[in-house]
Amino acid sequence: MEPFFSRSFNCIAQHISYVLISVRELDAMKTALQKLEALRNDVQRRIDVAEREVHMRRLDQVQLWLSKVDASIFEGNTLLDSATREIATIALVAAIPRIVG
């Protein structure tokens, strides 16, 4: 019976470790997305000023960069939302033995 409990404990410990590592990685990803969004907003403001005050036209390369950044921010936020839900589920499953026992 002891090997069963040992394996069960190892499995639960592994899940908890996964959750803790994932939470740190998600925090780093969230910070990186916030920095990217701030950079995108700064660039957009400079573009707006140049178009309005200097009557410059936006280059296709600039528009492509903005579009790619918008897509990356959207994908990153979608991934963060999904990963956060998954981690919450794993944490709940890891807590079930304490709740039941």
100, burial (CB in 10 Å: exposed 0-12, middle 13-18, buried 19+): exposed
Report pLDDT digits (tens) over 53-95. 999 999 999 999 999 999 999 999 998 888 888 877 776 666 6
Q: How far out from the chain centre does Cα 7 lie? A: 32
- pLDDT confidence of 52, banded at 50, 70, 90? very high
Higher pLDDT, 53 or 7: 53
- CB-CB contact of 94 with 19 (8 Å): yes
Quick one: what percent of the chain has pLDDT higher than 70? Answer: 68
Q: Please report the DSSP string for the chain in residue order.
A: -HHHHHHHHHHHHHHHHHHHHHHHHHHHHHHHHHHHHHHHHHHHHHHHHHHHHS-PPPPHHHHHHHHHHHHHHHHHHHHHHHHHHHHHHHHHHHHHHHHH-
